[in-house]
């Protein structure tokens, strides 16, 4: 279901989504109140929910929609402003699954190929996971028995020993579902962890500065959007700024952040792979990497460099990932020393860091 006060935007979204054979728009309405009524009449797996609407806006409608249909996937749609970035991240804490940033005008939306690809991929991945869970909940005993007799993918993952060097830095890569996962992991780190933490979360400009502020508020750690020339300090969290890759280089005995405008990798800038490649060169084996929920396979190639340098990689497991793309890519490539539920990652990383 598409919820947006602009009929033109709803029409554009509908055409973009229904170009895919596996996506069907079953309802298109102009505000949150109408969305609640439509939810009573239609079977909906996913809602694309605008933030700014008359009558009932997206933030007001969000908890009502989730209450009306527990497990409903909601993707917030917002323009690229500081206010809407803050609202989008608050919406994630309230139960939204993800967000998309709308181009600034109707004309830009018609030409925004990257946005269209991102929208379709997110709707497909998140809608499919919701549909799979619904099928699993209503599966017949025969099918359930057949499913449980097959080996779980997690049991087929080959783990490797953790690196032997004491970590000097923690690097985290995340995407879809990442803001919620980051908060969970960082809050559960023990007070004994004082290593610097470098985060690349797939996010546009403006959103990353708001994310850094939210992380600082939720965790109590000093956290800021990285700036070119920052000298990496202990007990500090650095978030790669939207629109730039975050790289690390040696400068004498210090490690310094460099921001790069080189082309996107894996359709992303910032991307996890360039961060990890540079960290492997700068820190050698003294690196601990965490790959969290996200679509695609960004982080896999960079994790290979970390392993070649003697570092350690851990990943979020499938059941607790919003999308098991990025963590699944490193896990099934034999790069991880552990693949764990989200709640166990912080304590495990704390032990490795100590």
Structure tokens given for 84: 């809407």
- Same-domain pairing of 101 and 186: no
Residue 143 included in any domain: no
pLDDT given at position 108? 65
Closest CA to 261 of 298, 228, 296, 231: 228
Residue 145 in domain = no
Residue 78 lies in a domain: yes
Structure tokens at 25: 């728009």
Give a yes or no: residue 142 inside a domain. Answer: no
Residue with tokens 């699944």, as numbered in its chain: 328
pLDDT computed for residue 155 by the predictor: 46
Map tokens 């596996």 to a residue: 22
Let me know whether 164 and 312 are in one domain.
yes
Answer whether residue 148 is part of any domain. Answer: no
294 and 239 co-located in one domain: yes
Q: Is 97 helix (H, G, I), strand (E, B) or coil?
A: coil
Residues 215 and 165 in one domain: yes
Domain CATH for 340: 3.40.50.180
pLDDT digit string (tens) for 92-116?
999 999 999 887 666 666 667 888 8
| Average pLDDT rounded to a whole number, residues 328-346 | 97
Give yes or no: residues 97 and 180 share one domain.
Answer: no
Share above pLDDT 70 across residues of the chain, in percent, rounded to a whole number: 90
Same domain, 196 and 68: no
Please indicate, yes or no, whether residues 179 and 30 belong to a single structural domain of this protein: no
298 is catalytic: yes
Q: What is residue 222's predicted lDDT score, i.e. its pLDDT?
A: 95
- Regarding whether 7 and 70 lie in a shared domain, the answer is yes
What is the reported pLDDT for 136? 54
Residue whose tokens read 């991945």? 125
Q: Per the domain annotation, does 324 fall within a domain?
A: yes
Average pLDDT, rounded, for the chain: 90
- The yes-or-no answer on residue 202 being catalytic is yes
Candidates 202, 214, 244, 245; catalytic one:
202
* Half-sphere exposure at residue 132, Cβ-oriented, CA atoms within 13 angstroms: 10
Find, among 96, 74, 83, 86, the residue nearest to 3 by Cα: 74
Q: Is 185 part of a structural domain of the chain?
A: yes
Same domain, 183 and 40: no
pLDDT digits over 217-230, tens only? 989 999 999 999 99
Three-class SS state of 128 = helix
* pLDDT score at 80: 76
Domain hosting 344: range is 153-353
Distance CA 257, CA 235 (A): 16
In a domain, 146, yes or no: no
Q: What is the DSSP letter of 108?
A: H
Q: Which of 83, 105, 137 is the last residue of a domain?
A: 137
Q: Are residues 164 and 292 in the same domain?
A: yes
Which among 137, 162, 189 is the end of a domain?
Answer: 137
- Count of domains in the chain? 2
- State the alpha helices, DSSP H only, in the chain: 7-18, 32-41, 58-68, 82-93, 106-111, 113-137, 141-149, 178-187, 207-219, 272-283, 300-308, 326-331, 342-353
Roughly what angle, to the nearest 10 degrees, separates helices 82-93 and 58-68? 20
**pLDDT for 128 beyond 80:** no
pLDDT at residue 147 tops 60:
no
pLDDT one-digit tens code per residue, 251-262: 999 999 999 999
CA distance 127 to 208: 25
206 plus 347 within the same structural domain: yes
Bridge partners of 102? 79
Active-site pick, 28, 78, 88, 175: 175
- Let me know if 175 is a catalytic residue: yes
Among residues 75, 103, 137, the one where a domain terminates is: 137
The single residue of 31, 298, 305, 317 carrying the catalytic annotation is: 298
State how far the Cα of 331 lies from the Cα of 314, in Å rounded to an integer: 8
Mean pLDDT of 165-181: 96
CATH number of the domain to which 62 belongs: 3.40.50.2300
Domain shared by 262 and 300, yes or no? yes
């Amino acid at each position: 279901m598409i919820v947006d006060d602009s009929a033109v935007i709803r029409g554009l979204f509908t055409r973009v989504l229904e170009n895919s054979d596996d996506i069907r728009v079953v309802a298109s309405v102009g505000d949150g109140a109408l969305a609640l009524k439509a939810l009573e009449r239609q079977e909906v797996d996913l809602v694309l929910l605008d933030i700014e609407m008359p009558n009932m806006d997206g933030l007001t409608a969000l908890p009502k929609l989730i209450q009306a249909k527990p497990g409903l996937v909601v993707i917030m749609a917002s323009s690229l402003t500081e206010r809407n970035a803050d609202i989008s991240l608050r919406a994630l804490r309230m139960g939204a699954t993800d967000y998309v940033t709308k181009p600034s005008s109707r004309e830009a939306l018609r030409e925004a190929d990257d946005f269209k690809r991102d929208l379709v991929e997110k709707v497909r991945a998140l809608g499919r996971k919701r549909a799979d869970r619904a099928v699993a909940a209503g599966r017949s005993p025969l099918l359930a028995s057949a499913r449980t007799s097959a080996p779980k993918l997690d049991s087929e993952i080959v783990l490797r020993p953790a690196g032997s060097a004491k970590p000097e830095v923690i690097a985290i890569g995340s995407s879809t579902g990442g803001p919620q996962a980051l908060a969970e992991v960082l809050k559960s780190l023990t007070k004994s962890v004082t290593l610097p933490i470098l985060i690349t979360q797939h996010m546009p400009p403006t959103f990353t500065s708001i994310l850094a502020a939210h992380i600082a508020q939720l965790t109590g750690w000093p956290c800021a959007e990285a700036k070119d020339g920052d000298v990496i300090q202990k007990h500090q969290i650095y978030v790669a700024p939207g629109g730039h890759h975050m790289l690390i280089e040696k400068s004498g005995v210090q490690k310094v952040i460099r921001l790069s405008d080189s082309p996107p990798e894996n359709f992303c800038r910032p991307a996890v792979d360039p961060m990890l490649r540079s960290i492997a060169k700068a820190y050698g084996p003294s690196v601990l990497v965490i790959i969290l929920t996200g679509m695609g396979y960004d982080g896999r190639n960079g994790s290979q460099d970390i392993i070649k340098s003697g570092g350690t990689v851990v990943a979020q497991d499938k059941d607790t990932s919003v999308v098991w793309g990025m963590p699944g890519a490193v896990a099934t490539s034999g790069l991880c020393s552990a693949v764990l539920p989200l709640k166990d990652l912080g304590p495990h990383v704390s032990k490795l860091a100590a």
